[in-house]
């Protein structure tokens, strides 16, 4: 995982190309599980700190929402990875892509989980620990766009490596998969 992270920072195309060539979906699953574990730890910290989301869309008591989220967030991220991966693979094939599903899942898992971890969850955790819960809403606009840009860029590069799509098609497929998983995840993630 450290090698993949370093490769993404130094040579993203080469790293995603190697993941595409290996075609092992477990290469995408590992960072997704790490993202889920870190997000679960953060949700547990929020619960232990006595915090609750201002709004929930499911019938979980607000005062225990983060405790529940700590339990369901890792499997949820796996499900969101599947939504993103299946969407990206299907649309890539419709757009003339020639890659296989395992390779698609590998690059989508890495391209999704690494930026969300590095540019969203870790900054959230650091802001919370340093400045408290009240600072999250003020700080998030500075780092959350980096996570979005990172996901869309890395997933599009990965889809180009797997399926040989044009940059525009890969970007559109990446965006579509991201929006669909975001719509599903937005119901539960707080």
Please give the DSSP secondary-structure letter assigned to residue 49.
T
Run of H or E including 162: helix 136-163
**What is the spatial distance between Cα 132 and Cα 128, in angstroms, rounded to a whole number?**
4
Taking the domains of the chain in order of start, what are their residue ranges?
A: 2-188
Mapped to the 3 state alphabet, what secondary structure does 77-133 carry?
Answer: HHHHHHHHHHHHHHHHHHCCCCCCHHHHHHHHHHHHHHHHHHHHHHHHHHHHHHHCH
| Average pLDDT estimate for 177-182 | 98
pLDDT confidence bin for 2, thresholds 50/70/90: confident
How many angstroms separate the Cα of 27 from the Cα of each of 23, 114, 177? 8, 12, 19
Q: What percent of the chain has pLDDT over 70?
A: 100
Tell me the pTM: 0.95
**What is the spatial distance between Cα 126 and Cα 153, in angstroms, rounded to a whole number?**
25
* Cβ contacts of 71 within 8 Å, gap of 6 or more: 40
What's the pLDDT score for residue 5?
Answer: 83
What's the pLDDT score for residue 6?
Answer: 86
């Amino acid at each position: 995982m450290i090698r993949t992270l370093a490769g993404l920072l130094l040579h993203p195309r080469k790293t995603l190309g190697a993941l595409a060539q290996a075609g092992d979906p477990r290469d995408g699953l590992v960072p997704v599980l790490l993202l889920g574990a870190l997000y679960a730890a953060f949700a547990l910290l929020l619960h232990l700190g006595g915090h609750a989301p201002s709004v929930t869309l499911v019938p979980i008591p607000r005062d225990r929402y983060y405790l529940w989220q700590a339990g369901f967030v890792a499997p949820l991220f796996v499900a969101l990875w599947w939504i993103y991966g299946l969407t990206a693979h299907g649309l890539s094939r419709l757009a003339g892509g020639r890659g296989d599903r395992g390779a698609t899942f590998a690059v989508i898992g890495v391209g999704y989980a690494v930026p969300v971890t590095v540019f969203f969850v870790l900054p959230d955790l650091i802001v919370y620990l340093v400045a408290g819960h009240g600072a999250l809403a003020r700080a998030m606009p500075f780092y959350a766009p980096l996570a979005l840009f990172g996901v869309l860029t890395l997933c599009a590069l990965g889809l180009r490596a797997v399926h040989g799509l044009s940059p525009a098609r890969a970007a559109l497929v990446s965006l579509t998969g991201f929006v669909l998983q975001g719509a599903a995840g937005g119901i539960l993630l707080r």
